[in-house]
Amino acid sequence: MAREHANRLALWLLHHRNDYACRSISTDEAIREAAHGPTPVCLLDMGDNVGGGGPGDGTILAHALESADYGRSLVCLYDPQAVQKALDAGVGAKISLSMGAKTDHLHGRPLVRDVTVVSQHKGRFTEPDVRHGGRTGYDMGPTAVVSTDLGTTVILTTHRVPPFSLKQVTSCGINPVDFHTIVAKGVNAPLAAYRDTCPRFIRVDTPGVTSADMLRLEFVHRRRPLFPFEDPGGSDNPPI
């Protein structure tokens, strides 16, 4: 009986597999969509999802937003080296800084800009409300906030911290409503954290280790055929 039900379920999933195929929008499409409608709009960086194992230093959306040039944007990047340089320079200093894209080559190229060091922080904050996973205490490590001449504000952190809490932003003295666009490196968790601030969320199909599109990922050991890489066909005899 159990095998019969399992086969029936497997057959149903086989016939409906296309219903679960990844449907998301590209970076260019997201940037165009973000230009219209209420703000701030939150772009969910699916390929660099910190909670899913992303490095947290992806710069693809930061570059795209600066190229679009339609308003102030806020990005958080894990970059201990950039943090230290900003801390050494001090608040108010103007320096040249290479930010992000230091972990690997999958998540963009460094954001190299002349920046002003806006503020420095210890990086600890507390989330008092019910949020993703129920976690309350966070530690970003020594943190620096810098701004570029192109309208981008960057929170540089020493530790990787997923965007489970808006306190990650407000603890640095930043008011999120001052921005047109906020980049959150997550997929679902940021919804609870940012919902009271951002009237719109756009899931962006960025490349990276946590890409929602399996076709972007390289699999060395897998069976063939395997959906969605190949279509095994509509067999009425699913594997048991």
180-212 pLDDT tens trace: 999 999 999 999 999 999 999 999 999 999 998
- What pLDDT sits at residue 85? 98
Low-confidence ranges of the chain (pLDDT < 50): 235-240
138 backbone dihedrals φ, ψ, rounded to 5° = -135, 155
Contact 83, 165 (CB under 8 A): no
52-73 pLDDT tens trace: 999 999 999 999 999 998 889 9
Contacts of 134 (CB under 8 A, 6+ apart): none
- What pLDDT sits at residue 239? 47
- What pLDDT sits at residue 238? 46
Contact 186, 165 (CB under 8 A): no
Q: Which of 54, 72, 52 is nearest to 62 (CA)?
A: 72
What tokens were used for 94? 């103007």
- What pLDDT sits at residue 19? 85
Q: How far is it, in rounded angstroms, from Cα 82 to Cα 163? A: 20
Contact 198, 40 (CB under 8 A): yes
- What pLDDT sits at residue 234? 52
- What pLDDT sits at residue 41? 98
- What pLDDT sits at residue 237? 47
List Cα–Cα distances, 45 to 5, 184, 189, in angstroms.
38, 6, 12
List Cα–Cα distances, 77 to 48, 84, 178, in angstroms.
10, 13, 19
